[in-house]
Amino acid sequence: MNIYVNQLGYMAKGRKRAVLALDAQAFSAEKDITVFIIGQNREHCVFRKNAVFAGIDKASSDAVWQVDFTEFTVKGRYRLAASGVFSASFEISDDLYKNLLTPLAKTYYYQRCGMELEEKYAGIFKRKCCHREKALLLEDYQKKQSGMNPEPVQSYDVTGGWHDAGDYGRYTTPAATATAHLLYAWKWFPESFQKSLDIPESGSGMADILCECRYELHWLLKMQREDGGVFHKLTSMRHANFVMPCRDRRQMILFPVSSYATAAFAAVTALAARVFRSYDGAFSGSLLAASLKAWMWLEENVQIVDFHNPRGCNTGEYGDDSDTDERLWAAAELYRSTGDRSFLEKAENLKRQCGHEPGIGWRNVSGLAGFALLEDEIRDGKMTAEADGFYTESRLKQQYRIQFMKEAQKAFVLSKKSGYMAAMESEEFEWGSNMLLLTRGMYLAVAWKLCRKQEYLDTVIRQMDYLLGINASGYSYVSGIGEKSVQNIHNRITVSSGNSEIIPGYISGGANSRPVDEKAEWLIEPGTPPMKCFLDLWECYSLNEVTIYWNSPAVFLTAFLGSPELE
């Protein structure tokens, strides 16, 4: 038997659940199991509760018992025990999510490119400045490599920004999405971001999370061409070896403009223009001007301008088969930032063309248009309604509200079906499964803000429980957080640094039943249940890589759970 708990812990007045599991083949009885809460050092029992049989979980093939010990509210550190088996330790406290937010958010500082991370701010994770060399356009690089154009060519200063993932590339569309998650988290839960992240900009009078977003936005502005189009990505032709970033001397290349990168850029810069308006008018103005310039390019290029890696390139492609969702998001953000109703009309037309369900991950961002249109209502926790039941300004608002509620209800139902309370179908355990789990949590949080259904709040907590240890792998998928947390993430900096400690706060991609890296394919036996397809090995990039857009929904949910309105 295994006992799985949230290894971060539980809020004193919040819901508290754990899961006991047996392999279904070893299972023979359905009777309740008595669970004991004991002191951290296996001291005397302080509480007992029966775990109730919940059936055979499809995604893990486990026989599962669930125990709810919400009524136990005494603060301290504990373990659960049953049948001679002990869980990992956990804490009961009022400040868990407030404290978790700091390492989750500070990972962005550790991902910074183009600057030295000083010991004063980075501690043992300090490192030298990296990637300060200027970049070449792809066509110039290719000509130079072939010898067709040995003469000097124009180079571009595109330093800065965040390393996207475990590699040293920087990519426009995922950067825009991650930054938007962080900006909306700050807009809706600003009280959660009062604590210092201890970064160089701390004490500036602006929340540290906004300072971090500003660092990324400065880089994004450099990715825009004079005609308004935005380069798809900035990487070398091939991934760097596993060396510290300061030792990566490969030529950085600006890859061609794509329409979905340009539209995502237009959206996030319009959003950021609203955020920074009260802090720095000049910066806000430059962001809005860049957004409008990108929109003009989109209006002149109405057909999708696609991107595919050229021959010989193995860095992230981040391709897409549609740019309608990015254009929709851009139109909605520009409407909110300018008040120009022509953008609202564009958004309404684009929404009709968007056939898929709303999304808030990098590939499908149509749901972020709803975030923009419902921004004030979500912030205030209510809808502004006309007497006829339709909402002011646009029926598009009502459409998004209905869709958000549907997505939240879908997540709630999925969570109820899962023995581990995860809002996932068994076939959805793919590369980056934790991102899907967390973005569904974002829908639940938004729905709770709008309708205050307790079941949606409870389901958000269940997703964080899964992330932090109540899953069939038994890992806390947040590096360094929990007694059995991931320690060997796929990240060139952590692998190459030589540090014995892991940088805390990175979100691992999680269980993937269709891994593509050689080591995972070799070590995970065919037929392994989807939720158990995980290995804490840095070589397994399709299981254990980290990305800026996997951390951003975790920051969002943690800010939500730590906000004063839930106290």
Could you confirm whether 565 is annotated as catalytic? no
Could you confirm whether 167 is annotated as catalytic? yes
Separation in Å, CA 522 to CA 297, 352, 519, 529, 545: 47, 45, 5, 16, 18
SS3 (DSSP) at 84? coil
Could you confirm whether 536 is annotated as catalytic? yes
Separation in Å, CA 394 to CA 381, 401, 443: 19, 12, 21
Do strands 76-82 and 9-11 pair parallel, antiparallel, or not at all (unpaired)? unpaired
Name the catalytic one among 91, 167, 458, 465. 167
Per the CB < 8 A criterion, the answer to whether 114 and 129 are in contact is yes
Per the CB < 8 A criterion, the answer to whether 241 and 249 are in contact is no
d(CA 331, CA 298): 11
Residue 236 structure tokens = 């070398």
Beta bridge partners, 156, equal 135
Name the catalytic one among 163, 320, 490, 517. 490
Could you confirm whether 163 is annotated as catalytic? no
Q: Which residue in the block uniquely carries the two structure tokens 């708990």?
A: 5
Per the CB < 8 A criterion, the answer to whether 447 and 404 are in contact is yes
SS3 (DSSP) at 45? strand
Name the catalytic one among 140, 164, 375, 545. 545
d(CA 509, CA 490): 10
Give the amino acid at 472.
A
d(CA 537, CA 530): 17
What is the DSSP track for 84-100? Answer: TEEPPPEEEES-HHHHH
Active site residues: 167, 490, 536, 545
